[in-house]
């Protein structure tokens, strides 16, 4: 019987952010007959207990080299922004890690000498790969580069969020409570939408003080509800089942858009918007206008899109189910983890290290 390939997933924290969740999903869905996964992070967090409950060991602390020397991975998979981080990469060289893969979350370029240790860079969207190539002049092509979408447990959301009539006058918003994850569109649509739909409920996960102030200033307390963070997919499913669409608005854009992908997997249409200039725009790679949701260019169009979906439940359901099908086809965690396992094996084989 072959010895499983030892894979150490590395992230900066075990918090509730999308990068950490992607790391958790890949670690959990690698085939355990072929791979033995563990996680290293300088800081523990809410994902730590979830990983450990799934039987995935976590090594928490600032000394990555100590973890590498003790655990001796065959593959280290970094989940990082992509810019130079010699302090992160140097221990990998010292420990002589056989294979190093990175998920490059923001499509940034690391021209530092320490980056030569990277065997494969995986971008989380075609948008990130194409922007990287345009900005650097480096073709983002195999074998050095590739695109691997972020995983979503689409099988779970298919069970937990079955097809339904999207008749509830309820809009959902999901993000971290970070001003950088917001756009004024996420607020400015609310007064006209509430005026058109007096029973409208806006359920917000990741509220910020500016949003709470806006709601009070416009007398919309009866329409807006600020919710605590959601730690598990079970909690996410309950949230998705309580709304009829996801209202996404983030002025920095998305390099992928995990909340969008999860809402699609739950059968919800999504309203989003383009971002100008060099900002992230992978949200437009996920949301196809008129197919899996609606794309609005300004506050008026955004409010009109929300009102349309809430007053046309059949069209909303059709878009939501088209989004569900797209998510299952492109983002299914088991399929992407199998592809990732194939990438690990491919690199090991190329280096003469296959088992």
pLDDT at residue 355 in the model: 65
Kindly tell me the burial class for residue 142, based on how many C-beta atoms sit within 10 Å of its own C-beta (0-12, 13-18, 19 or more): exposed
Summarize pLDDT for 101-115 with one digit per residue, the tens.
999 999 999 999 999
Across the chain, mean pLDDT equals 96
pLDDT band at 194 (very low <50, low <70, confident <90, very high): very high
Report CA 344 to chain centroid distance, whole Å: 21
User: Two tokens at 303?
Assistant: 């409010």
- Determine how β-strand 5-10 pairs with β-strand 224-227: unpaired
Summarize pLDDT for 218-237 with one digit per residue, the tens.
999 999 999 999 999 999 99
pLDDT at residue 162 in the model: 98
pLDDT at residue 354 in the model: 79
Summarize pLDDT for 238-275 with one digit per residue, the tens.
999 999 999 999 999 999 999 999 999 999 999 999 99
Long-range own/partner contacts, residues 321-324 (CB < 8 A, 24 or more apart): 321/163, 321/267, 322/291, 322/292, 323/263, 323/264, 323/265, 323/267, 323/268, 323/269, 323/270, 323/287, 323/292, 323/293, 324/154, 324/157, 324/158, 324/163, 324/264, 324/265, 324/266, 324/267
Report CA 12 to chain centroid distance, whole Å: 15
* Domain 5-151+332-350 is found in CATH 3.40.50.2000: yes
Whether residue 143 is predicted with pLDDT greater than 90 in this model: the reply is: yes
Separation of alpha carbons 184 and 177, rounded Å = 15
What average pLDDT does the segment 180-196 reach?
97
Residue 173 CA: distances (Å) to CA of 19, 22, 105, 161: 19, 20, 22, 17
pLDDT at residue 278 in the model: 80
pTM for this entry:
0.96
Summarize pLDDT for 276-331 with one digit per residue, the tens.
878 899 999 999 999 999 999 999 999 999 999 999 999 999 999 999 999 999 99
What average pLDDT does the segment 86-109 reach?
97
3-class SS of residue 21: helix
Report yes or no: 166 and 317 within 8 Å, Cβ to Cβ: yes
Separation of alpha carbons 207 and 17, rounded Å = 15
The answer to whether the 5-151+332-350 and 154-330 domains have the same CATH topology is yes
Report yes or no: 13 and 20 within 8 Å, Cβ to Cβ: yes
Whether residue 1 is predicted with pLDDT greater than 70 in this model: the reply is: no
Q: Where are the domains of the chain?
A: 5-151+332-350, 154-330
Whether residue 50 is predicted with pLDDT greater than 60 in this model: the reply is: yes
H helices of 190-332, in order, are: 190-196, 209-217, 233-241, 258-265, 283-286, 299-311, 313-330
CATH superfamily of 154-330: Glycogen Phosphorylase B; (3.40.50.2000)
What average pLDDT does the segment 59-74 reach?
96
């Amino acid at each position: 019987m072959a010895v499983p390939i030892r894979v150490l997933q590395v992230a900066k924290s075990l918090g509730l952010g999308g990068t950490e969740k992607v790391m958790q999903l890949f670690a959990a869905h690698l085939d355990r007959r072929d791979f033995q996964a563990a996680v290293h992070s300088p800081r523990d967090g809410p994902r730590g207990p979830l990983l450990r409950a799934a039987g995935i060991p976590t090594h928490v602390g600032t000394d990555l080299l100590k973890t590498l020397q003790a655990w001796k991975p065959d593959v280290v998979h970094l989940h990082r922004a992509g810019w130079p981080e010699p302090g992160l990469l140097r221990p990998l060289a010292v420990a002589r890690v056989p294979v190093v893969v990175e998920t490059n979350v923001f499509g940034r370029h690391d021209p530092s000498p320490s980056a030569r240790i990277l065997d494969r860079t995986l971008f989380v969207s075609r948008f990130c790969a194409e922007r990287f190539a345009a900005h650097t002049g480096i073709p983002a092509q195999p074998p050095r580069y590739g695109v691997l979408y972020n995983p979503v447990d689409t099988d779970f959301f298919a069970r937990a969020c079955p097809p339904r009539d999207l008749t509830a006058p309820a809009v959902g918003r999901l993000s971290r409570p970070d001003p950088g994850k917001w756009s004024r569109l996420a607020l400015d649509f609310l007064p006209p939408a509430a005026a058109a739909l007096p029973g409208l409920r806006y359920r917000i996960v990741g509220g910020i003080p500016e949003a709470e102030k806006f709601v009070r200033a416009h007398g919309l307390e009866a329409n807006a509800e600020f919710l605590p963070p959601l730690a598990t997919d079970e909690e996410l499913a309950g949230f998705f089942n309580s709304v009829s669409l996801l209202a996404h608005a983030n002025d920095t854009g998305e390099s992928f858009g995990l909340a969008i992908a999860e809402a699609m997997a739950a059968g919800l249409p999504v309203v989003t918007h383009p971002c100008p200039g060099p900002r992230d725009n992978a949200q437009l790679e996920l949301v196809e206008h008129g197919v899996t949701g609606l794309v609005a260019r300004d506050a008026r169009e955004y409010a009109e899109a929300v009102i349309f979906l809430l007053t046309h439940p059949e069209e909303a359901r059709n878009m939501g189910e088209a989004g569900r099908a797209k998510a299952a086809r492109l983002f299914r965690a088991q399929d992407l983890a199998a592809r990732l396992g194939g990438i690990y094996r491919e690199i090991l084989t190329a280096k003469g290290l296959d088992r």
